[in-house]
Amino acid sequence: MANIVLSDVTKKFGAFTAVDRVSAQISDGEFVTLLGPSGCGKTTLLNLISGFLEPDGGTISIGEDDVSALPPEKRDTAMCFQSYALFPHLSVHQNIAFGLKQKGWKRSDVDQRVQELGGQLDLTANFPKLPNQLSGGQQQRVALGRALAVRPGVILFDEPLSNLDAKLRESVRFEIRKIQSEAKLTAIYVTHDQSEALAMSDRIFVLNAGRIEQAGNPHEIYNAPATRFVADFIGAANLIEGEVVGEESAGRWLFDTPIGRLCVECGAAPSAKRHHICWRPEDALVEGDTSNNANRLDGAVGATAFQGAYTDVFVTINGISQRLHVGGAFAASGSGKGDGTLTFRIPETKIHVLEPVA
């Protein structure tokens, strides 16, 4: 239960910079997810915090102490490895007890704590078994129990669910979050799965090429992306470039885009002349009230894909393909028009202004 301060942390491998002057603060008891594609530096950052790598620049503090030069065995962190890394020659009970024995706890205290965790994680029946006698889900829970046993200041997760099948992933996800919030542990969770990140985190750090592109709670990240990368990485997004025309009225700005003139309610003035802007497929209104004509667009319907809860529809406007989610059944003939075109509008509040065009 400690807070973490990262200050200009940098890590290079030869000429390649894996983590580029990252600064962040993580509060005590917070669940933070490091999210990003492969090679973005999230695992490197995790290894820096746990101590398996030493930073080339910057400092890392856990609680009151600067731990930048401290090796993993001396840091108050515990990690859940992607491969679980259970000791193959020790039983479940001995695996969980390992960290406690290292700390020199008395035998009776160790047993008590292991029993406690066994109950919490439903592992008591498996105590005498060896790791190779357990299923993937059970091994995962042993890894979790082993890390929790020592009550670390920070608990770290390195893509712990990636080796589990989809159904199991969902249930374990809830378990991890529940245990973490009950024990009020500071947790750092690495994943490339955005639905995990959105479901579990207090805050998400979206990483790209060694830098944090955006840090915020899941709602902010989803509904107010700051850059193209974040908008496209989480959820789906239609990305286009817009040229600022002018302010229509207070907080409502007009942009000229390849698909037409759009009105965006963005509050503050755009900082540059040309910006990237985006809108999400599920925000398109197909059967809207015809009274409001703002951002009304017509497009030729291309491919469609039925997805159960909605249909993915690709329309082409001015030669540019845009993606919409249309609820329920959707006939290729379009909303009543029957001529292969589709009319829809995008609410002004649902268009997001991203970074300026370079």
Binding residues (CB under 8 A) for another protein: these are 50, 52, 71-74, 77-79, 81, 83, 85-89, 91, 98-99, 102-103, 130, 146, 150
Nearer to another protein, 68 or 322 (CB): 68
- In the complex, the smallest distance separating the C-beta of residue 308 from another protein, rounded to whole angstroms, is 35
- In the complex, the smallest distance separating the C-beta of residue 108 from another protein, rounded to whole angstroms, is 20
Residue 231, amino acid: A
Nearer to another protein, 100 or 297 (CB): 100
Contact 57, 9 (CB under 8 A): yes
Give the CA distances from residue 348 to residues 194, 285, 295, 314, 342, in Å, rounded to whole numbers and listed in that order: 26, 11, 7, 21, 19
Nearer to another protein, 77 or 311 (CB): 77
Question: Residue 279 and residue 324: Cα distance in Å, rounded?
Answer: 10
Q: Are strands 252-257 and 238-249 parallel, antiparallel or unpaired?
A: antiparallel
Nearer to another protein, 143 or 179 (CB): 143
> Phi then psi for 62, rounded to 5 degrees?
-120, 120
Question: Residue 43 and residue 268: Cα distance in Å, rounded?
Answer: 36
Nearer to another protein, 74 or 178 (CB): 74
- In the complex, the smallest distance separating the C-beta of residue 85 from another protein, rounded to whole angstroms, is 4
Nearer to another protein, 89 or 167 (CB): 89
Question: Residue 278 and residue 291: Cα distance in Å, rounded?
Answer: 24
- In the complex, the smallest distance separating the C-beta of residue 157 from another protein, rounded to whole angstroms, is 12
Give the CA distances from residue 11 to residues 43, 99, 161, 170, in Å, rounded to whole numbers and listed in that order: 12, 29, 26, 33
- In the complex, the smallest distance separating the C-beta of residue 28 from another protein, rounded to whole angstroms, is 21
Of 199, 94, 210, the C-alpha closest to 149 is: 94
Residue 354, amino acid: L
- In the complex, the smallest distance separating the C-beta of residue 78 from another protein, rounded to whole angstroms, is 6
Give the tokens for residue 347: 């609410």
Nearer to another protein, 13 or 174 (CB): 13
Question: Residue 206 and residue 212: Cα distance in Å, rounded?
Answer: 6
- In the complex, the smallest distance separating the C-beta of residue 128 from another protein, rounded to whole angstroms, is 9
Residue 277, amino acid: I
